[in-house]
Structure 1
Amino acid sequence: MQQRSRTTFCLLAAAVAVAMAASPIMAGQRAPLRAVTQPASTAQDGRVDRLIVRYRSGTALRADKTRAAAAVRNAATRSGLAATDARYVRSTATGADVVKLSRPLDRASAAALMRTLRADPNIAHVEPDVRMTHTGAAFAKAPVAARAGATPNLTPNDPYFGQYQWHLHHATGGIRAPSAWNSATGEGVVVAVIDTGIVQHDDIDANVLEGYDFITDAFVSRRETDERVPGAHDYGDWNDDPNQCPVSPSSFHGTHTAGTVAELTNNGLGMAGVAHNAKVLPVRVLGRCGGYMSDIADALVWASGGEVAGVPANENPAEVINMSLGGSGACTAGSEFQTAVDAAVANGSTVVVAAGNYNTNLSQFTPASCAGVIAVGATRITGGKSSFSNYGALVDLSAPGGDSVDGNPNGYVWQNINDSETSPENGQQNYGGMAGTSMSAPHVAGVVAMLQSVAQAPLTPAEVETLLKNTARAFPVNIPSGTPMGVGILDAEAALAGLVPPCQGPDCEPDATPIVNRSPVPGLMGNAGDEQLYSLDVPAGATNLNFLTYGGSGDVTVVVSFNKEPTATEYDLRSSRPGNNETIRIAAPKIGTYYIKLIGVAKFANVTLEARHN
């Protein structure tokens, strides 16, 4: 693997996709989007240039920052590390001190220094202040013009929703968001997204609060000073100097994850978000070549409503915090991350963390292995494990993260993005796809926001975790015992049903997955006797409506009814040819909702459903 000059964590997007078009797209139009897989970033070589040191209560070192740095210098001398100086940088929100070394130490030298420090009776804990970096970049071309919004309904009019956002509505791999929107949309809830910050985008701006930039290194932040500042503008995390870290374009990862949480929905523009009436609090901790753990831990405390020296109080404490980042190393008691998580949970914030993208046990990754977080693995459109996803007993549940083997668009999670490879000012707003556990976590954070928005009293983080795990749906494919991925796949509808009783009576709409005109729904599968229900909203003036199924193996029957759910014996129209090539034609369709049900005559797989009208 390529060696780097610093120990790092990795922002958890394994692959990306590109939105491309020859000319600008106006609202309601579609551009061809194509996927481009990017290699995951390599691990760094373990070199350390900063330490986080926590002193025992009551010691002189804890109160005297000059003596604290001197203690590290003395430990370096005792460890045989000549010419290694240290200076005090700042104190963290958890009560530890950040100390910068005068030169980076290799893995062995850093370990020797920390052993010496741990032997000091004044010191309670010491660890490297490691840095995080991104693992991919997103690109998009063709800005999209905004349109006035409308009241959300079961089938949003966002033009990319049906074809691209399988992760929200697909019967097998999605989270069943549309039916959950009947109960909640996250209104009144704040979701903190601790990430690369955010850039302007018409499809989310109205849901974004002013956040804060917690990066304390001007090289990383691309700002003029090391000071923290209001706002969370993403200046871009590209790097063109291989001596600093691997060369890479900007990711605008925070904008993408924020879109999954709360992209505007049913506004005739782009795509949809899970909790599209929630507010996003962006908190910037990652920039060029990453970001330090100590900054991320402070951001976590602040986002939950805790105090951080030198930073104004957070006027919008977050009920849920999304962290699509992490790196190697177990999260242990007394560590900076665990202490920060404990503080956030004590403040009432549910902390959602991506499991990681190394296809290994997450027990050795932090903060996913911290006690008190909801650790989220990644699944594909098939409902199976994404090839890159970490696994293990500490994974709580899984959510859509994509996998490039499933092709475009089904291999990616799609949201808003900026198309620049450098500064956002050099690009334009658009939409793109990424794959990773980074994408899985904000699906969970969005559902938590939906739950909190309708709960009679705020749910505790423990209550939220229990509810999500109790209502997760079973994996539709076998998950090997050696790679456990939690209790199942996030189910937004079932989770909301745990708080809001399901609709009953003649005025209730059937529980159907919405489809969009001329947007095929591929990959449908089931057993003999299985039923899958879909809905299509037909506008005024539509003609020549056709419902089609085709491809794959097995045998299905299709039944259709207007404004009600069809059954195997009660329906308006039916097609039951041998195999999967079924067609139902309606020359003059009515204005309203048609319900389409696939019934398995025999086991079927890889069947495509499509509705077409003029």
Structure 2
Amino acid sequence: MKRRSPWPARRSLALASMALFLGGISHDADAVDKMTRDRHAGRVFFPAEGSTQTYDSFIVYLRDDAKAGDDGSAKALAARSRLDSLLDAASQPLGLSLRADRRISTGGHLLRVEGDALGAGAADRLLLALARDPQVASIEPNIRLHALALPNDPFLSYQWPILEATGGINVEPAWDSGADGLGVVIAVIDTGQTYHPDLDNGQPFPNNKTLPGIDMISDPANARDGNGRDNDPSDMGDWNTANQCGPDSPAHDSTWHGTHVAGIAAALTNNTEGVAGVAYNSYLQHVRVLGTCGGSTADIADGIVWASGGTVSGIPDNATPAHVLNLSLGGQSACSTTYQTAINTARANGSVLIVAAGNSNAPTQFFTPANCNGVIAVASSRRDGGRASYSNFDPTIDIAAPGGDSDVAPANGIASTVNTGTTTPLAAGYNYKDGTSMAAPQVAGVAALMIGENSSLTPDQIETLLIDTARPFPVPCTLGCGSGIVDANAAVAAATGGTITNMPMSVALYGFGHGSVTSSPAGINCGTQSGTSCSTRYATNATVTLQANAAPGFTFSSWFGPCSNSSPTCVVSMQHAAEVHALFEAPITALSNGVQTGSFGTTGETPRYFAIDVPSGASNLDISISGGSGDADLYVRHGNIPDENHWECRPFLSGNNESCTSATPAAGTWYIMVVGAPDFSGTRLTASFATGSGQWIFCSGMEDGDACPAP
């Protein structure tokens, strides 16, 4: 389920625009500017801003192309001829060599760069060159995604997500009712499988726990098996050495990530072995897409299509299509044409897709495939039911599930199946891991329990029932984590026709302003700053009125979710779960170079915000407060509004005379917060910088409100 997000598009520095030119491009050229990105949005999917990935392949979609899977018709051959001409015309002026590699299951053409991989800036320019041709419908880099587990501590012997009421998923009553996922296939689209007695009952197909899968990694080096794609999804180990997967990439041991994820979703139980999976009688099917250095868009998309029963050229069809696809992987990117097409295909084939939200403590809208339409995006909750410190957030999230937080205590991780090898596979074992990777298979297991009890459920129905039956967070899940924590027993009961008598409501505050949200009937009382959240339940079909109240000095901007207006009142009919976001803003006063503000002050630690735009090439930025009484503190930050935890300069002196300077300031907007400790008055603020010519702009002896003369 996708909702309009209150999070703004990420700001970028104003980079000098560089046109495409003859004579070649550097493999580490500067990225294109934001205006160019915005102009081509939706057709050209650029690498994420600030990306350090390199790109050796791209995916292009042509207009008037043959259908996916049609490689021999006249239309397909004509399209291939047009593509070859397009590649020559676009790449030769840039000093590059491109070749068409193959067509993938979503209909896109995979293009390979001959020679060195391109940096983000060079990739930008190649994408623009290809997009100049009107035959191109869309184009994207073949980005790599990675497993989303975090480091962990040694295995201990219990599973709090199953056993505990506070942070758990309430699965034992569902088991007692007879739900076990029998006959349901869960595809683990991940690093592949290793032998484990908790995942393999030693019976021949079709009675084995683990069904035949596929190795969809096309690059033999990344696959580490020497032969690329084949029908053996064995995890060969994803260990690597320092810098093996790109500049500054660290060395790490093999994670056995797919084995761990599989155990959470569906490990055997009542077998005198280690752990119990959520849907312990479901089948497991491994689709190996992540290798030594993660997985490519083309391979992951083909894995999604194949797992759901779709056709992938050159690969035998899946004889046992999966009902549930678990993707505990992701990376920073918009949802591209390739991912959305693969997801749409899988849903049309009847599969429900469960996706980890990501572990960057950032808005999920910036991470794929969790930001795609039609998936169930899962945040990670802690043992006490709050948001795990690393978990992504925002209205893109549908639901939360236990993902662990071993930073609090080693036993707070998620216990599951692993291999004990540090590089190549050795013996089976158990260990704790943390991450939204561990949260997603909890939800995948619950979805399998639901399908096992009612095989007629559609992907949309499963998503709605999971969200509507979620349990309100026992402690605030800051910044938005979906409707609540997945409740297995309630979801299974609803799947079999049970009545949902009450619906969860969660409210989260966003923005740089302060305020609170209250409700009638009572139950919601959130305040007073961004990140605050609260949740409760209301009777199904009840009418709930929410009231937003801005704190002094701030304004309420708008609602997101069931209401989308700017009125401080939001009326919600609880026919389904409601995830509401209230946006509060801080008024920001724009400053001019060298112009001193009038005197100002605040009481009760209420902040005042200012901003100044600094051009490229400026020098000697000076931001100073002076005068008045009380104690004012100065905070300065580039690109985003500062707060008491996020700043680039904070003198933190007694009194009202403080200054921040930078000899070579970054171009763009610099934000300033002045806050009392607790009160101040009569203070003035000045921000000044030297122009590109090196001249200073001085404004001495100016009256309040006068303009500063140009140098």
TM-score, normalised relative to structure 1: 0.67
CA contact (8 A) 1:69 1:99 kept: no
Deviations 1:356-409 (A, max 9, x none): 011111111110010000000000000000000000111000000011232021
**Count of paired positions:** 432
Corresponding residue for 2:491?
495
CA distance, structure 2, for counterparts of residue 340 and residue 62 of structure 1 = 23
1:382 alignment partner, one of 378, 381, 384: 384
Aligned pair in 2 of structure 1 residues 470, 62: CA closer, same or farther (>3 Å)?
farther
Amino acid at match of 1:471: T
Amino acid at match of 2:457: L
Amino acid at match of 2:161: H
Corresponding residue for 2:104?
92
Query: SS at the partner of 1:211?
Result: strand
CA distance, structure 1, for counterparts of residue 63 and residue 77 of structure 2 = 7
Matched, 1:76 2:91: yes
CA contact (8 A) 1:61 1:68 kept: no
Shift of 1:106: 1.8
Amino acid at match of 1:458: S
Amino acid at match of 1:88: A
Amino acid at match of 2:343: V
Counterparts of residues 348-497 of structure 1 (less than 5 Å): 348-410=350-412, 412-424=413-425, 427-455=426-454, 457-480=455-478, 483-497=479-493
Shift of 1:64: 4.6
CA contact (8 A) 1:66 1:88 kept: no
CA distance, structure 2, for counterparts of residue 467 and residue 298 of structure 1 = 28
Aligned pair in 2 of structure 1 residues 368, 63: CA closer, same or farther (>3 Å)?
farther
Corresponding residue for 1:204?
199
Aligned pair in 2 of structure 1 residues 407, 63: CA closer, same or farther (>3 Å)?
farther
CA distance, structure 2, for counterparts of residue 413 and residue 139 of structure 1 = 9
Shift of 1:137: 7.4
CA contact (8 A) 2:160 2:168 kept: yes
Query: SS at the partner of 2:486?
Result: coil
Amino acid at match of 2:243: P
Corresponding residue for 1:181?
175
Shift of 1:108: 1.6
Corresponding residue for 1:48?
55
Counterparts of residues 73-222 of structure 1 (less than 5 Å): 73-78=88-93, 81-82=94-95, 84-102=96-114, 103-134=116-147, 163-183=157-177, 184-206=179-201, 207-222=209-224
CA distance, structure 1, for counterparts of residue 141 and residue 219 of structure 2 = 16
Q: Which runs of 5+ in 1 are unaligned?
A: 7-42, 143-159, 504-614
CA distance, structure 2, for counterparts of residue 138 and residue 379 of structure 1 = 16
Identity among equivalent pairs (%):
42
Corresponding residue for 1:570?
none
CA contact (8 A) 1:140 1:430 kept: no
Query: SS at the partner of 1:495?
Result: helix
Shift of 1:243: 4.0
Amino acid at match of 1:472: A
Query: SS at the partner of 1:212?
Result: strand
Higher relative contact order, structure no. (Cα contacts within 8 Å, ≥ 6 residues apart): 1
Counterparts of residues 240-255 of structure 1 (less than 5 Å): 240=241, 242-245=243-246, 246=249, 247-255=251-259
Amino acid at match of 1:262: A
Counterparts of residues 203-352 of structure 1 (less than 5 Å): 203-206=198-201, 207-226=209-228, 228-240=229-241, 242-245=243-246, 246=249, 247-332=251-336, 335-352=337-354
Deviations 1:62-93 (A, max 9, x none): 74536524422321234xx21x1011211100
Amino acid at match of 2:466: L
CA distance, structure 1, for counterparts of residue 340 and residue 239 of structure 2 = 30
Corresponding residue for 2:591?
none
Aligned pair in 2 of structure 1 residues 277, 136: CA closer, same or farther (>3 Å)?
closer
Amino acid at match of 1:182: D
CA contact (8 A) 1:331 1:366 kept: yes
Aligned pair in 2 of structure 1 residues 475, 138: CA closer, same or farther (>3 Å)?
closer
Shift of 1:248: 1.2
CA distance, structure 2, for counterparts of residue 329 and residue 61 of structure 1 = 30
Deviations 1:404-453 (A, max 9, x none): 2320212x1110100111110xx211101110000000000000000000
Corresponding residue for 1:57?
64
Query: SS at the partner of 1:312?
Result: coil
CA contact (8 A) 2:149 2:434 kept: no
CA distance, structure 2, for counterparts of residue 241 and residue 46 of structure 1 = 15
Query: SS at the partner of 1:108?
Result: helix
Shift of 1:231: 2.4
Aligned pair in 2 of structure 1 residues 491, 233: CA closer, same or farther (>3 Å)?
same
Shift of 1:196: 0.1
CA distance, structure 1, for counterparts of residue 242 and residue 111 of structure 2 = 26
Q: CA RMSD in A?
A: 2.2
CA distance, structure 2, for counterparts of residue 205 and residue 199 of structure 1 = 10
Shift of 1:110: 1.1
CA distance, structure 2, for counterparts of residue 272 and residue 393 of structure 1 = 31
Aligned pair in 2 of structure 1 residues 388, 233: CA closer, same or farther (>3 Å)?
same
Shift of 1:134: 4.1
CA distance, structure 1, for counterparts of residue 400 and residue 360 of structure 2 = 15
Deviations 1:554-613 (A, max 9, x none): xxxxxxxxxxxxxxxxxxxxxxxxxxxxxxxxxxxxxxxxxxxxxxxxxxxxxxxxxxxx
Aligned pair in 2 of structure 1 residues 307, 220: CA closer, same or farther (>3 Å)?
same
Shift of 1:141: 8.8
Aligned pair in 2 of structure 1 residues 141, 172: CA closer, same or farther (>3 Å)?
closer
CA distance, structure 2, for counterparts of residue 497 and residue 263 of structure 1 = 22
CA contact (8 A) 1:137 1:251 kept: no
CA contact (8 A) 2:143 2:297 kept: yes
Aligned pair in 2 of structure 1 residues 66, 222: CA closer, same or farther (>3 Å)?
farther
TM-score, normalised relative to structure 2: 0.58
CA distance, structure 1, for counterparts of residue 158 and residue 51 of structure 2 = 35
Query: SS at the partner of 1:336?
Result: helix
CA contact (8 A) 2:147 2:437 kept: no
CA distance, structure 2, for counterparts of residue 76 and residue 393 of structure 1 = 40
Corresponding residue for 2:631?
none
CA distance, structure 1, for counterparts of residue 100 and residue 407 of structure 2 = 48
Q: Which runs of 5+ in 2 are unaligned?
A: 1-26, 29-49, 67-74, 202-208, 500-711
Deviations 1:474-511 (A, max 9, x none): 0001233xx110000000011111134789xxxxxxxx
CA distance, structure 1, for counterparts of residue 369 and residue 148 of structure 2 = 17
CA distance, structure 2, for counterparts of residue 473 and residue 137 of structure 1 = 25
Deviations 1:274-327 (A, max 9, x none): 000000110000111111110000010010011111111111111110000011
Shift of 1:48: 1.6
Query: SS at the partner of 1:198?
Result: coil
Query: SS at the partner of 1:409?
Result: helix
CA distance, structure 2, for counterparts of residue 471 and residue 486 of structure 1 = 12
CA contact (8 A) 1:360 1:391 kept: yes
Amino acid at match of 1:189: V
Counterparts of residues 31-42 of structure 1 (less than 5 Å): none
CA contact (8 A) 2:146 2:330 kept: no
Query: SS at the partner of 2:194?
Result: coil
CA contact (8 A) 2:181 2:280 kept: yes
CA contact (8 A) 1:389 1:437 kept: yes
CA contact (8 A) 1:139 1:420 kept: no
